[in-house]
Structure 1
Amino acid sequence: MVRKTFTTTIDEDIQAKFKEACTSNGEKMNDILEAFMKGYIQGEFIVEKELKVKPRT
């Protein structure tokens, strides 16, 4: 399998906590991200986003 660099922007706090969780579990971040990507491609889960409307203050 050919490996390719993947770069994106991620919320700093989420990235730090993800890195910490991966380290605690003895996993590499790229392996976990790749597993999530494969699961998403195969339809194993969906992502739901919530839109909120707030009155101006």
Structure 2
Amino acid sequence: MPRKQFTTTIDEDIQKEFKATCAKNEVTMNDVLEAFMTGYINGDFQIEKEVKLSVKKIKK
């Protein structure tokens, strides 16, 4: 299968921890991301996003 470059932005701390964890587990970041994407495509898991709204009184 042809390879396609994929570029995106991500929180710097998450990227650093992800890179370190991949190195510790002796896997490439690319392999983990491809496995994650494949699992998501296949419906192996779902992502739930929670939105929280709050109202705060402004002190005058």
- Specify the TM-score bucket, using the shorter chain as the normaliser: over 0.9
**CA separation in 2, counterparts of 1:24 and 1:49?**
29
Identity %: 60
Aligned to 1:38: 38
TM-score (structure 2 length as normaliser): 0.90
Map 1:1-57; keep pairs closer than 5 Å.
1-56=1-56, 57=58
**CA separation in 1, counterparts of 2:38 and 2:51?**
26
Residues 18-49 of structure 1: per-residue CA shift (max 9 Å, x gap): 00000000000000000000000000000011
5+ long unaligned stretches in structure 2: none
5+ long unaligned stretches in structure 1: none
* RMSD of aligned alpha carbons: 0.9
Q: Which has the larger radius of gyration?
A: 2
After TM superposition, which residue ranges in structure 1, 4 or more long, deviate above 2 angstroms? none
TM-score (structure 1 length as normaliser): 0.94
Q: What is the aligned residue count? A: 57
